Chain A
Amino acid sequence: MSEVFDLLVEHPFFKGMSAEQVRVVADTGTPVSYREGQTIFSEGGHADACWLLLGGDIALELQTPGHGPQVMQTLHAGEILGWAWMFPPYRWHFDAHVHSDTEAIRFDGPRLRDAAEADPVLGFELMKRFTRILVDRMQSIRIQLLDVYSTPR
């Protein structure tokens, strides 16, 4: 088995998936590294991948006129970067800016989609995991929008 498979099979994100399912996902993965200051993807760009972060920090940013890039959220080791590869029109919603040198596994989005279409059981396993990420991030953004730490008057 590959180095990527060995990493994935032990990872909590893939817990509950069969070894064969993990192998299919691992076959789409490649180890990558990014230097601090790099931009991995930009808002509006073609979303063709996702990443499992092994180390380092990534900032999801929105460009705001007059205020520069605003950090919406940071992602860290163990977390997944990128879900827009799953849903048409496959466009990134944020910029991904490397806050500190990062090691990751990059998964090829179109190949993952093809694998999920070909094997709906695998597709559902992936959908459950990425939906969890979406729900968590939506909840976080909701709380951030409430601005709970502001002064009540």
Chain B
Amino acid sequence: MHPVPCRVRSVVRELDDTFTLDLEPPSDGWSFVPGQFTMLYAFGVGEVPISISGDPGDPTRLVQTIRAVGPVSDALTSVAVGDVVGVRGPFGTAWPMELAEGRDLIIMTGGIGLAPLRPAILHTLEHRDRYNNVTLLYGARSPGDLLFAEQLQQWRGRFDLEVLITVDHADRTWRGPVGVVTSLIGRASFDPETAVAMVCGPEIMMRFTIQELERAGMTEDRLFVSMERNMKCGIGLCGHCQLGKFFVCKDGPVLSCAAMTGACWTREV
């Protein structure tokens, strides 16, 4: 499976170390479902898995948000309009958008974890009548680290989406909540008996979030997380991303907590 060359249409600097690339998709038949990722290739440097952060309803754009954390992502965040990167995919499993229909939906995320959930949010808003209460609970490091800040403002202005944001650290100029993202659960409107939760963020944050959602009355069959492991092939062959009985690239990244049966607590090998 070879990378397909894709041209960079635009580069948006979201945060100091985080950029969103708008790419010309690999083919006319390009499509993806919320939760999937691609393997992005910086020619001559290497390849990394990157979540798709764009609108699944718009097949003309491949939007990916990248944080510079190593040589490949450094290279990918240094591209300019007109440059070409390699793309394989889309790969992986989807957020359970159909399961959530007719129910309350909790979207809980922290840091750059908002990027893999943005397609799910956009899909939900596009088909808003299919869902009951929809709540986005988002935690960031500080007010200056809010990803997609402009879009968050727009979402907060909607009457059909509850958006609660907290930060870990702030001074008095921040008027919103300060504390971990789980502290927002008690302020969200959802029926724990039937709601579906989609969770993405640093693994420690997800573990505590799952515990707190279960404490609030939710069961693991309606809790979904997006896992991150060291993916290489993207198609479940190489084994680098093994997590318990799963290959995260193929069986995930979106996994139900019920299916994982404790794999979330498995220490990385």
Residues on A lying within 8 angstroms of B by beta carbon are 57, 59, 61, 67-74, 76, 78, 97, 99, 139-140, 143-144, 146-153
Contacts and interface: CB of A to CB of B under 8 A. Distances in A.
A147 B168 contact: yes
B177 A143 contact: no
B202 A149 contact: yes
Nearest to A140: B180
B52 to A, nearest CB: 21
Interface in B95-150: 110-112, 139-141, 145
A150 B69 CA distance: 10
B43 to A, nearest CB: 23
Q: What interface size band does chain B fall in?
A: 20 to 34
B179 to A, nearest CB: 5
Contact of B179 (A68, A73, A78, A146): A73
Given A70-B171, A99-B175, A151-B17, A143 B140 contact: no
Given A68-B171, A70-B169, A149-B139, A76 B182 contact: no
B218 to A, nearest CB: 17
Contacts of B204: 143, 146, 148
Interface string B150-181: 00000000000000001011111011111110
A144 B182 CA distance: 12
A149 B147 CA distance: 11
B178 A59 contact: yes
- A-B pairs, top 7 by smallest CB distance, nearest first, are A149-B111, A148-B202, A149-B141, A71-B178, A140-B180, A144-B168, A74-B178
Nearest to A67: B171
B69 A151 contact: yes
B67 interface: yes
B31 interface: no
Contacts of A140: 179-180, 182-183
Nearest to B179: A73
A62 B220 CA distance: 38
Interface of B: 17, 67-70, 110-112, 139-141, 145, 166, 168-172, 174-180, 182-183, 186-187, 201-202, 204-205, 208
Given A74-B177, A76-B177, A140-B182, 13 more contacts: A59-B178, A70-B170, A72-B178, A74-B178, A139-B180, A139-B208, A140-B179, A140-B183, A143-B208, A148-B201, A148-B202, A148-B204, A151-B68
Residue of B145, B177, B201 ringed by the most chain A CB atoms within 10 A:
B177
Contacts of B186: 78
B129 to A, nearest CB: 31
Residue of A71, A147, A148 ringed by the most chain B CB atoms within 10 A:
A148
B140 A149 contact: yes
A69 B201 CA distance: 28
Contacts of B172: 59, 61, 68-69, 71, 97
A40 to B, nearest CB: 15
A111 B84 CA distance: 72
Given A68-B172, A76-B187, A150 B141 contact: yes
A28 B112 CA distance: 46
Nearest to B110: A149
